[in-house]
Structure 1
C-alpha cells in the first residue's frame, strides 16, 4: 500500500514543480536572444559652457589641455555649442532594450582627460573619461575627477602650493541630470541625446564644504547658481538583434539577475504549481482508498 501510494505522489509533485524551472529557462533563452552589442562610438559633450568661459575669462586667465582618447571640436571654444569628442569604450558600455525601447544604458569612454588650470596654476581640475547613464527618460552625466581641496579655504585663496598629495581628491561621480531627448536606431547606428541637464551637487557639498566630484568645479555650482550643463550627444555603432529601437521606457521594478524570471511571474507560477500538487495529491489519496475510510466520506 505504501509503495503504491508513494510512487504516484512523488511523480505528481515532481511534475508540478517542473513548470517554474521550465518557465525560468524559457525566459533566460528569450533574454539571450535580444541584445545590443556596442562596437564603437563617440560621446560629444562640452561639459559646462559657463565653466569653460570662466577658465578662459579675465578672472582665471586659464586654459585646458586634452590627453588620451579625446579631441576638440572645430567651433569657437567660447561658443555654447563647442564640444569635446570622447571615444566610447565598447567593453564597458551596456544598453538594455525591452519591446523596442531603451530602458537603461551606461556609456563608458576610453581613458582620457581634460585638465583645466587657471589663477596662475592655483586652480587645477581634471575631468577624466566621462560617463553617461540613462534610466527611462532620465539621463545622468559625470566623469572621473582629480582636484585639490583644502577645507576652510575659499576658491580665491588657493595657491599652487596647495597642490599636494594630502589635498588631492580623485574618484568618479555623476554631477548632472536631464532628459533623454532622442533615442533611436538607424541602420547600425544608435543615437542618444541628453538635454536640459542641470548641475546636481553631492549631498555633502554645502556651507563651504566640497564633497566628491564637486571638486571639479570647486563647489561653486548648484541649483541656484549657473546650474546649466551642456547637452550630450552619443552615437554608437552596434550589432543589434532586438529589431527597431525608438524611444525609452522605464525599467521594470524588479528584473532580477539577467535571464532570471521576474518576481510577479515567479509568484504566479509558484501558486499554480502548488495548486497542481494539491490536486494531484487529492487524486492519489482517492485512488489509494485512504480518504474513503474517513467519516465525512461515508455520510
Structure 2
C-alpha cells in the first residue's frame, strides 16, 4: 500500500486542525488581550492639581535670617512662603495606587542668600518620586555656591532627600493628603547646602495635598455618569440589548470549530490504521500457526555429525 497518499491526507487534516485552533485561539485571546491592555493602562490616576508645603530645614532658615548670615530668601515662579513653610503648586503627574508608584511635580523657585551674597542657594521645581515600598525621593533643581562664593552645584532634578511615606498612596475619592512625611538629606543634597550638613540629617517634613479626576478609593478610574453628572433618583434597569457587556461571554463558535477538527482527526486516523491491515481472501486456506512457525524454522541436518 502506498504511504504517500496517507501522509498527504494526514498532513492536510493536521494543517486544517491547526488553522482552526489558531483561529479559535485568536477569537478567544484577541478581545480579552485588548481589554486587559486597556485596563492595565487605566490603572494609574492622573493628578490634576495640588500643592506641596515644606520648610526645607528650620535651622537653615534660622541661620539665613539670623545675625550671622544676615541674609534672606525670595520666592518666584509661583512659589510662596507662609511661616514656617514654603509652598509650591501646579501639581502634575500620575500615581498607580495598586503599586504605590508614581511621580508628582510642582513649579516654583526659592532663592536663599547670605554673607553678602557669598552664600547663594536656589531650589526649584520639586518632584516627589514614589518608589512603591513606603519610600519616596525628593528631587530639586539646585544651584549653590561654597564658602568662597564659587558655584559647586548647578543641576536639574538633583536627588536631595529621602522621604518616608509609611502609608498607602491611594486617592480617597478625588483627593490624596499626605501629612508630615519625614525626610533626610542625601549625599547629593549635601553639596546643595554647601556642606553645612551631613548626609542623614533631618529635613523638615513634607505635606502633600493632591487632586484627581475620576479616581475612586482604590485608585481605579470611576465610570462617568451617563446623565452628564445630574443625579437620577429612579434606578436604571439593564436591558437584554446591553446584557453582553456584563461579564465574559463563552465563545461557542471557536469551541465548536476546535471540537469538530479534533473529531475529524480521530476518525481519519482510525480509518487509516484499520486500512493498513492486510485482508485475506476467503477462498485461501489459512495455515495453522504451528505449521507457519515450523516452515519458517530451517530444518536441522540429518547427515553425520561434523568432525
Q: Is the 8 A contact 1:96 1:104 kept in 2?
A: yes
Residues 29-67 of structure 1: CA distance to partner in whole angstroms, max 9, x if unpaired? 323555523222111111222222222233322211111
Counterparts of 2:166 and 2:265, CA distance in 1? 63
Give the superposition deviation at 1:190.
Answer: 1.8
User: Is 1:234 aligned with 2:219?
Assistant: no
Asked whether the equivalents of residues 62 and 119 of structure 1 are also in contact (C-alpha less than 8 Å), the reply is yes
**Structure 2 regions of 5+ residues with no counterpart?**
1-8, 220-258, 275-307
- Unpaired stretches in structure 1, ≥5 consecutive residues: 76-81, 149-154, 203-212, 247-278, 295-299
Q: Distance in 2 between matches of 1:220 and 1:14?
A: 69
Corresponding position of 1:289: 269
Query: Of the candidates 79, 83, 86, which is equivalent to residue 70 of structure 1?
Result: 79
**Which one has the largest radius of gyration?**
2
Aligned to 1:177: 162
Is 1:27 the counterpart of 2:20? The answer is: no
Pairing partner for 2:182 from 191, 196, 206: 196
Number of residue-to-residue matches in the alignment: 225
- Structure-2 change in CA distance of 1:95 and 1:184 (3 Å): closer
Q: Secondary structure at the match of 2:46?
A: strand
Any conservation in 1 of the 2:153–2:191 contact (CA below 8 Å)? no
1:215 aligns with 2:191: yes
On the 8 A contact 1:44/1:86 being kept in 2, the answer is yes
| Post-superposition offset of 1:97 | 2.1
Question: Is the alpha carbon distance of 1:193 and 1:245 closer, same or farther for their aligned partners in structure 2, counting shifts above 3 Å?
Answer: farther
Contact 2:16/2:261 (8 A) holds in 1: no
Tell me if the contact between 2:43 and 2:96 (Cα under 8 Å) persists in the aligned partners: no
Q: Distance in 2 between matches of 1:229 and 1:3?
A: 74
Using the TM superposition, give the Cα deviation of residue 282 of structure 1 relative to its aligned residue in structure 2, in angstroms: 7.7
Match status 1:107 vs 2:104 = yes
Q: 1:57 aligns with which of 57, 66, 69?
A: 66
Q: What SS does structure 1 have at the residue aligned with 2:97?
A: strand
Instruction: Please give the secondary structure, in 1, of the residue aligned with 2:63.
Output: helix
2:122 is aligned with 1:126: yes
Equivalent-residue separation in structure 1 for 2:181 and 2:211 (angstroms): 21
Aligned counterparts, 1:248-287, within 5 A = 286-287=266-267
Aligned residue for 2:24, secondary structure, equals helix
What is the TM-score with the length of structure 2 in the denominator? Answer: 0.62
How far apart are the structure 2 equivalents of 1:240 and 1:47?
33
Q: Is the contact made by 1:139 and 1:194 (CA closer than 8 Å) also made in structure 2? A: no
Whether the 8 Å contact between 1:105 and 1:133 is mirrored in structure 2 is yes
Q: State TM-score, norm by structure 1.
A: 0.64
Q: Evaluate the alpha carbon distance shift between residue 199 and residue 239 of structure 1 in structure 2; reply closer, same or farther with a 3 A threshold.
A: same
Are the structure 2 counterparts of residues 282 and 219 from structure 1 closer, same or farther at C-alpha, using a change threshold of 3 Å? farther
The structure, 1 or 2, with the larger RCO (C-alpha pairs under 8 Å, 6+ apart) is 1
Equivalent-residue separation in structure 2 for 1:33 and 1:184 (angstroms): 14
1:130 is paired with a residue of what secondary structure?
Answer: strand
**Cα RMSD after superposing both structures:** 3.2
Q: Distance between the aligned counterparts of 1:239 and 1:87, measured in 2?
A: 17
Matched, 1:117 2:113: yes
When residues 39 and 284 of structure 1 are mapped into structure 2, their CA distance, relative to the original with a 3 A threshold, is same
